[in-house]
């Protein structure tokens, strides 16, 4: 349920301000929120949903990080600075994902069911970014600070702007005319990229 040593080692590789493992263990509020989430998630999946929710709200007051105990989070997850992060009930987060402060993995619907984003392995989400709805953020993508993402993102992309525009690391963007359904295009690797200058 909890590998503290691995989490601390991972945090130190992502935070140049971390001077020692002991200091990281004591002061990293993002790690404290993640460790508490793992316990609350265990409660949630073992038919103790009310104490899981109460515990999550208590941790929110201590750390400024709100992680719903129903969310699914992989290994080596790190929240830098922590404050203001919100992760919704049906969010799914892969391994080696990093979020900065002020990130929201939120929904756009009041319907019961999948309504929060899925982040693939190795995704980095910049400060203040909002990823809204049951989207798929492909592996090893980077979401820029304050971006608002409302569409699926292919793997190995960089997303900036409001609304967020996905571009591969080579500097091109998805052609919306040739790729109307990004989710199926991601699955089939059948994506048309164009120079972003065509949209100016």
* pLDDT tens digits, one per residue of 59-103: 999 998 999 999 999 999 989 887 899 999 999 999 999 999 999
Q: Stretch 123-141: mean pLDDT, rounded?
A: 92
Q: Where are the beta strands (DSSP E) in 28-178?
A: 65-67, 72-73, 78-79, 85-87, 92-93, 98-99, 104-106, 118-119, 124-125, 130-132, 136-137, 142-143, 148-149, 157-160, 165-168, 173-174
Q: What is residue 189's predicted lDDT score, i.e. its pLDDT?
A: 56
Find residue 78's DSSP bridge partners: 98
Model pTM score: 0.77
CA–CA gap between residue 128 and residue 109 (Å, rounded):
21
* pLDDT tens digits, one per residue of 162-198: 888 888 876 555 555 655 565 565 555 566 555 444 4
CA–CA gap between residue 141 and residue 118 (Å, rounded):
12
* pLDDT tens digits, one per residue of 15-56: 777 788 887 788 788 889 999 999 999 999 999 999 999 999
Q: Stretch 109-136: mean pLDDT, rounded?
A: 91
Give the DSSP letter of residue 144.
P
CA–CA gap between residue 19 and residue 7 (Å, rounded):
15
């Amino acid at each position: 349920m909890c590998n503290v040593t691995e989490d601390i080692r991972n945090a130190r590789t992502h935070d140049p301000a971390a001077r020692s493992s002991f200091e990281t263990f004591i002061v990293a509020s993002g790690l404290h929120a993640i460790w508490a989430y793992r316990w609350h998630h265990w409660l949630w999946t073992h038919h103790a949903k009310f104490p899981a929710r109460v515990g999550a709200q208590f941790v929110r007051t201590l750390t400024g990080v709100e992680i719903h105990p129903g969310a699914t989070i992989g290994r080596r997850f790190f929240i830098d600075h922590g404050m203001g992060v919100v992760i919704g009930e049906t969010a799914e987060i892969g391994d080696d994902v990093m979020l900065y402060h002020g990130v929201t993995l939120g929904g756009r619907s009041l319907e019961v069911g999948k309504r929060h984003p899925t982040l693939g392995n190795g995704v980095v989400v910049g400060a203040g970014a909002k990823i809204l709805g049951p989207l798929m953020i492909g592996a090893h993508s980077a979401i820029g600070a304050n971006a608002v993402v409302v569409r699926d993102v292919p793997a190995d992309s960089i997303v900036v702007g409001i609304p967020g525009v996905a571009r591969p690391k080579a500097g091109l963007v998805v052609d919306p005319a040739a790729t109307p359904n990004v989710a199926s295009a991601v699955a089939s690797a059948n994506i048309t990229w164009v120079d972003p200058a065509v949209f100016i």
